[in-house]
Structure 1
Amino acid sequence: MERRARRKFDDEPENHERWLISYADFITLLFAFFVVMYAISSVNIGKYKVFSDALGDAFGGQGSAEPINTQVQNLPIPNPGLKRRTELIRKEKEQMTKLAQDLLSTLAPLVKEGKVRVTQNSRGVSVEINASVLFDPGDARLTAESREALQAVATLLKDDSHAVQVEGHSDNVPIRNAIFPSNWELSAMRAGSVVRLFIEAGVPPERMTAVGHASNFPVAPNETPEGRARNRRVAVTILSGIPDPSTEIPTEAAAPATQP
């Protein structure tokens, strides 16, 4: 009987597929490893902290590791073109401000009397001169007194490089005579007279422009004598080479002129 039992045990066939059990365990562990790696690579801060705490408790209780900073910093991208333009605008504005201050100083007596206004705006620097300072009523010839003030302005503009636009304005009272059929001709001739004086004083003619607006751009109501006197004016604008969209800054406030 003993021989028969041993023969049965010895005759039991050998299992050649036992390696599949170890292989299946290895594949399972490998899958779990890749799942963990994927969870970490997804950079979920909440999951990372939970996983880190679990690892810390399992391997010595050192606590969770510092979270990884996954935020992309919005660093400014350098723009050489924009930086250069900003610097040019700054220098141009400084130059125009200095010119406005020089004009204000030169025309200080007339500014104090309220007959001249100097302003700096997005177009450049504007010198607004009441017509009573420059011309006799209904005339476009410069008076002897006005030439001295305009010569001083021309001296500042002569060595400057900016374009100059001279604009003539009138009130809304119609004019009709042998010389001026309307306020268009009167305002244009007055602007031309100022331009001619500037050219004679040395300002290059290619920088000059003369424009007549008649009564289309009033700065005061035409219903009163004071308002009409304010509207009869000549504006000399030194145009900025690099316009800067800034609000107008009055360099000097002046009361409306009352002389016709």
Structure 2
Amino acid sequence: MKPRKKNNNNEEENIHRWLISYSDFLTLLFTFFVALYALSTVDITKAEKMTTSLRKVFKVIDEPISFEEDRNKAIIEDLRKLLNDISGINIKSDARGVVITFPDALLFSSGSAELKPEAYDALTRIAEKLKEIPGKVAIEGHTDNVPISSSIYKSNWELSAARASSVLHFLLQKGLNPDRFMIAGYGEYRPVASNDTEEGRAKNRRVELIILR
């Protein structure tokens, strides 16, 4: 009987497979080094053009922010001119938007949420200005940390909310859309100054009207 040659054929076939795999590996390795070379010889002009294009893209993205900042500056300037003869009102811009801060003494008597007649003029001017400015408006009431002694309000929290509500109702009477507004009372929990001094407590007793971003 003749010996079989099956094993020899299998060995030869395995060798060919190994050679093919090795050849593929060399091809991939060659391609990798070609790619590295291409990356190391980037056309400077093309790279500069790409950088310029990216800067233009980011400039477009930044434009809304610049527009918003310009808008807020214009609003602040107009409001300061509008209210320049009324002392105590502070107007600034922060992360929330344009913030108009009223000291409580301008709007209310101590422990009360009923607007003083002296407050009507300032609030009327602001109401007319808000008719020209689109967007949402927040009204926030704040107090100091001195406990309130009132038969109407059990806490500073309730007083601050009632004061914000009084300002809102006045503005709505001037024809502004209720859908634009939101109110909040924070009591003593968002101070802007120390409550250890009378000056600090006076700063904390305030109502903020925010033209939101």
Band of TM-score, shorter chain: 0.7 to 0.9
Distance 1:70 1:162 in 2: 49
Kept after mapping to 1: 8 A contact 2:107/2:119: yes
Distance 1:163 1:227 in 2: 30
User: How has the CA–CA distance of structure 1 residues 202 and 108 changed in structure 2, closer, same or farther, with 3 Å as cutoff?
Assistant: same
Report what 1:36 is aligned to. Answer: none
Report what 1:127 is aligned to. Answer: 100
Distance 2:43 2:178 in 1: 64
Kept after mapping to 1: 8 A contact 2:90/2:102: yes
User: How has the CA–CA distance of structure 1 residues 69 and 156 changed in structure 2, closer, same or farther, with 3 Å as cutoff?
Assistant: closer
Kept after mapping to 1: 8 A contact 2:112/2:159: yes
Task: Report matched runs for 1:90-129 at 5 Å.
Answer: 90-110=66-86, 113=87, 115-129=88-102
Report what 1:205 is aligned to. Answer: 178
Deviation at 1:78, TM superposition (A): 4.6
The CA deviation string for residues 186-239 of structure 1, in whole angstroms up to 9 with x for no partner, is 000000111111111122111101100000111121122222111110011101
Distance 1:70 1:233 in 2: 62
Task: Report matched runs for 1:72-83 at 5 Å.
Answer: 73-74=47-48, 75-76=50-51, 77-78=53-54, 82-83=58-59
- Which structure shows the bigger proportion of residues in helix conformation? 2
Percent of aligned pairs sharing the same letter: 35
Distance 1:85 1:196 in 2: 39
Deviation at 1:85, TM superposition (A): 3.5
After the TM superposition, which parts of structure 1 deviate over 3 Å for at least 4 consecutive aligned residues?
Answer: 68-72, 77-85
Give unmatched runs, 5+ long, in structure 2: 1-36
Deviation at 1:83, TM superposition (A): 4.5
Distance 1:124 1:187 in 2: 21
Deviation at 1:176, TM superposition (A): 3.5
- 1:142 is the counterpart of 2:115: yes
Distance 1:208 1:80 in 2: 37
- 1:153 is the counterpart of 2:126: yes
Give, as a single letter, the amino acid of the residue that structure 2 aligns with 1:90: S
What is the TM-score with the length of structure 2 in the denominator? 0.74
Deviation at 1:80, TM superposition (A): 7.9
Distance 1:93 1:122 in 2: 11
Distance 1:81 1:201 in 2: 44
What is the TM-score with the length of structure 1 in the denominator? 0.61
Distance 2:55 2:42 in 1: 28
Deviation at 1:84, TM superposition (A): 4.0
- Of residues 189, 193, 196, the one that matches 2:169 is 196
Larger Rg belongs to: 1
Deviation at 1:108, TM superposition (A): 1.1
